[in-house]
Structure 1
Amino acid sequence: MDTHSLNSSVRVKYAIVHITRSRVRIRIPKLKYDREYQCRLKKLVDSFNFVTGVRVNPAAQSLVVYYDQWALTFVSLQKKLAIAIQQAADINIDVSVSTSVQGMPSLPNGASKERFSLQKKATSRFNNTCSSFVHSKEKSTELHSVESVSSVASQPQVCKPLTMEEMTALKAANLKPPQKVAVKKSDLSIEANGFSTSLKLPTLDRQTSLSNTEKRFRIVFLQTRATARPIRSSRQEKIVDYKQMSQQLQTIQRAGGKILSISVIS
């Protein structure tokens, strides 16, 4: 293909401003006002195997082409770009077909194709990472948030129905069956400052009749303080009621504390 095979009525003015062994900058006034020409020219130039990158700046009327310096000579480069600049003005051109350098074997893995493949893999990996991060974040928030810890600790679990022997023993002792069910022993896990902490709620007696609002909790945590000297950690504890539970846990975590245990004391 040469310039004589192109439509004689299609002529685009251009000038090579700067050229090095890896980059060439071309000034094309048509880039400033013809957006379709910008897209066609960029796709056409990027389809060459020797091109590693294309940057179009309509405001500066410039086209910057990055190419493989070992793929072709300056003369071949100028000829190919001249053909592409004129050919992009033809609206019937199919820019989806990749063009190779005449007289030279096409690269087995074209730089532009390889770059597109790497970008596609990176985009796919980024999307997968983001989706898995969001999913894990939602799951972690659902299982390990402070609200879930306090809500699980406060939600009663259904006990098994009493047997006839137990009912008889209660009647003999003049005791009523428990109306309020205590929290059974369960292992919870929360994440604070990147550390996983196992929290164990002690087993309460089946006849415990304290409501959630009447219970008091002991929070044992490790407070880390950064001073001029080496970082020191101190073991501290707080006794709070049910209403203060969630707020205190949030306060401890925001201050950099590591929660060790939570126990019911009354």
Structure 2
Amino acid sequence: MTLSIPADNHPGRVQGDLMQVEHPDLRGKVAVITGAGRGMGLRFSAALARRGVHVVGADIDGALMDEAARSVELEHDGIDGVGDVVGTTVDVRDRDAQQAVAELAVERFGQVDLWINNAGIFPESPATDIPVSQIQATLSINVEGVLYGAQAAASVMRPGGSIVNMASVAAVRVRRGRAAYCSSKAAVSHLTECLAVEYGDLGIRVNAIAPGFVDTEMTRWVQDDPEALAKALDAIPLHRLGSPEEIVGPMLFLLSDSARYVTGHILAVDGGSRHV
């Protein structure tokens, strides 16, 4: 693996194709990724397809998901050995809908080896003003969505399968105005550990990635506020935002045979901010 950090005029931001990580053991496997229409889900789809993994990307916005699948195909046009990317629609709050995604993957590619529970929301509200609709939606999408995805995955996976959930450093750090989000990610972290214990009986590994501040649309609110950005960078020992590519590398590791004796682990990718 090589890592380079090119110069950037934006304070605390890293750009460029930072990591070239190859996991040959992933080639020919089949992955399901929820929330794959944009952001990190789209990055995961592209990274896995590039390594010969067939991907079923699922998103609540079906048109966006179809566009995302086409964009991955165009990105890899002319490259040999690239995996296929198929888009479909899913509301992760619906357990039957997630099961249907699993069955679609089996019908299309014959199996499911990898599952990334990536779909989530990032609501904001002072704790005293959190409306019922917000806490219900947050727990339903961010927590129930992970559980239903894991259940669907386990129903079709063979021993050796790998599930990765998207947690957050917010599971262990308080962010003002994000009580619903923080509590949901704390639940995802512990749910990951619970699933790892029970799904170990099936030969399935379950881990989670816990990102900190990463340069995505979800953190645009802090990047567009110089004062907030300076405060955020001061709370990160590496004093910069992470890049999406720096989440992809750890994700590939957890999915791959390199991590075949790793389960129930919450891998923080946060520049050390959980310690500050």
Shorter-normalised TM-score: what interval? under 0.3
Higher Cα Rg: structure 1 or 2?
1
> How high is the TM-score relative to the length of structure 1?
0.21
More helix by share: 2
> How high is the TM-score relative to the length of structure 2?
0.21
